[in-house]
Structure 1
Amino acid sequence: MSDKTIGNGTLKQHRWVMNEPQIPFSCEQLYCDDNLMVVDKPHFLASMPRGMWYRQTALIQMREKTGNEELSLAHRLDRATAGVLVMTTHKSVRGAYQKLFESRAVHKMYECVASDELARALVNPRRGEQLVQRLNEDGMHRAQFVAVHEGEDARDARRWGLQLSSHIEKTVGIFQAAELGLGDREDADAVGGSDGADGVNSVSMHSVNATTLIAVKPQEQLSEHEKQTLASNPHMAIYQLWPRTGKTHQLRVHMNALNCPMLGDDLYPTVIDRAYDDFSSPLALVARRMRFTDPLTGEERVFHSQIEL
């Protein structure tokens, strides 16, 4: 550690990482103005310094490329997830953009490659009804079919997706997030674990805190690379996902709950221990599109990732 004096005269420790492993991927700049810098973050690159990673992170990489030490993150993406990452170019505007993400005023659409189990249910009414019934009876989920129209062309408003809701909690030190049993909304604050009159521990029930809309990507929107991906993985499909909330690992947890784990997922359904320099199986998940109203200019902002699945 080294000490560095900051604006208010206090000392801030600056961490130096020795012999940090090299990540052979870098961010591509998608957009930049006086307030924003938007990049395409690759798989395997952490958003910000954490653990063994400092220089090999999107934030520090872009600070070094631009020479702008005031670059800050407006939000974060998991190290395993690629796609649109928004940064602010100076500290005075950071709060305004961070509040957008905190208040869920940013419309996000992700894409992933996963088992075609759900895809087959979405095009088969009987299978779809059976899937929704099963999910609603398992005590862990609430599910319904809804029309897909958010950010899509009018012709796509007739296609259907599955909206899946659950309660997700992530415990520090445990790799996987967990879904907990759901109760009635009026019982959302009930605390379980105490002994009942019959001596049996009561079960804590939880309210929904994670909701995702999931639909199959239309065939006419598939790129040639995506068509090749599906040809090489015949029991897979490409999905579009709209998270209504932002819980840790939410998209991966929900796809796994549907028996559709994402291609390359080393956490769900099973934790796979891979070496830090094993780049052979990236998680097939990309933050594809981000849309919001700029809090400073009032302009509609839309950014698209160019990273292929």
Structure 2
Amino acid sequence: MPANSHFAGVHLPAPDASTALHGASTVCLPSGPWQTVLDCLADRFPAIPRNVWADRMRRGRVLDADGRALAVDHAYQAGLRVRYFREVAEETPIPFEASVIYQDDQLIVADKPHFLPVVPSGPYVEETLVARLIKQFDNPHLVPLHRIDRLTAGLVMFSVRPESRNAYLSLFRERRIYKGYEAIAPALAPLSFPLTHRSRLVTGDPFILTAEAEGAPNSETHIDVLERRREEWRYALKPVTGRKHQLRVHMSALGAPIKGDPFYPTLAPQGAPDDYAQPLRLLARTLRFVDPVTGEDRLFESRRTLDW
């Protein structure tokens, strides 16, 4: 694998097996007459020229399921899971910076602004929190241990060392970490707080949305009120589960869609530039846990605030 690779022309360390699967798209190769993986990819994705696929493979941007780079002449195999990193020729710069509020040999905790994605998605590759931090710390092993939506601001925790990564991931898998959010949304005067909202969340229509459906609940959020104003309140939200758009969907379902939300309850026209003056009023405020490596009690709090 080459010593350096890049997102959209900006050089970053090449991914290795410990980092490669984060931020990558996945395709399972179908049955067909191809001789090489390159033949299959070029045929199945004709919008991407063959020479572009070949260039990506030479730079270690096309991987197998274990994060190993696939060579240009790698033999085709039906059912092979291929991970590849999207590249965007030109990206619109996001004019907001994250701050690092904590770092040691195991962890980096970043305080993300609104509008900045955590990992590559859609039209964003280079303009992402992980890409910026990899460059800032010159560390190709940085991997986000969890994610928050692009439109949400607040805390994101990164693993620094592959050796301890699984210990920290277990905090999220086993729900041994407290994640506290704040949101500004319409008042819900008829309801009594604190309350718990449970529902079944499924992929919506279009697929970028999440919807509530009939059936056994698979999501749970605890909700309380921190501050009351006439028409809008500031809420404390604690997600017990971590479904896509869970907090946004649950607040909308209660009749209090989060202020500035372009998805819920009504999907705004897609493709328009971000309105930086109207961010989603949702903040990942707190992370609290017992460090699985050191045994210390950890408490991190965002330094950002939500504007009414």
Fold match by TM threshold 0.5: yes
CA RMSD of aligned residues (A): 2.1
Where does residue 165 of structure 1 map in the other structure? 198
1:40 aligned partner, one-letter code: D
1:46 aligns with 2:79: no
2:217 aligned partner, one-letter code: V
Which of 105, 119, 128 aligns to 2:176? It is: 105
1:61 aligns with 2:132: yes
Where does residue 59 of structure 2 map in the other structure? 4
Where does residue 218 of structure 2 map in the other structure? 209
Deviation of the 1:170 alpha carbon: 2.1
1:142-198 deviation line (CA, Å, top 9, x unaligned)? xxxxxxxxxxxxxxxxxx4011111111258523211111xxxxxxxxxxxxxxxxx
Where does residue 148 of structure 1 map in the other structure? none
Q: Aligned to 1:280, what secondary structure does the other structure show?
A: coil
TM-score by length of 2: 0.71
Equivalences for 1:7-26 in 2 at 5 Å? 10-11=70-71, 15-26=86-97
Retained in 1: the 8 A contact 2:199–2:220? yes
1:239 aligned partner, one-letter code: Y
Q: Aligned to 1:47, what secondary structure does the other structure show?
A: coil
Deviation of the 1:14 alpha carbon: 5.3
Q: Aligned to 2:221, what secondary structure does the other structure show?
A: strand
Equivalences for 1:73-222 in 2 at 5 Å? 73-116=144-187, 118=188, 120-122=189-191, 128=192, 160-171=193-204, 174-181=207-214, 206-218=215-227
1:235 aligns with 2:228: no
Q: Aligned to 1:121, what secondary structure does the other structure show?
A: coil
Distance 2:122 2:112 in 1: 19
Which of 249, 264, 270 aligns to 1:268? It is: 264
2:114 aligned partner, one-letter code: H
* Structure 1 range deviating more: 269-278 or 257-266: 269-278
Percent sequence identity over aligned pairs: 38
Deviation of the 1:248 alpha carbon: 0.8
1:109 aligned partner, one-letter code: G
TM-score by length of 1: 0.71
Distance 1:4 1:291 in 2: 39
Retained in 2: the 8 A contact 1:23–1:277? no
1:253-289 deviation line (CA, Å, top 9, x unaligned)? 1111111011000011100126234322110000000
Distance 1:8 1:249 in 2: 32
Name the structure with the higher helix share: 1
1:102 aligned partner, one-letter code: R
Gaps of 5+ in 2: 1-54, 72-82
Deviation of the 1:4 alpha carbon: 3.2
Retained in 1: the 8 A contact 2:107–2:160? yes
Distance 2:273 2:121 in 1: 14
47 and 258 in structure 1: CA distance in 2 versus 1, 3 angstrom threshold: same
Where does residue 302 of structure 1 map in the other structure? 299
Gaps of 5+ in 1: 123-127, 129-159, 182-205, 220-229
97 and 171 in structure 1: CA distance in 2 versus 1, 3 angstrom threshold: farther
Distance 1:260 1:46 in 2: 25
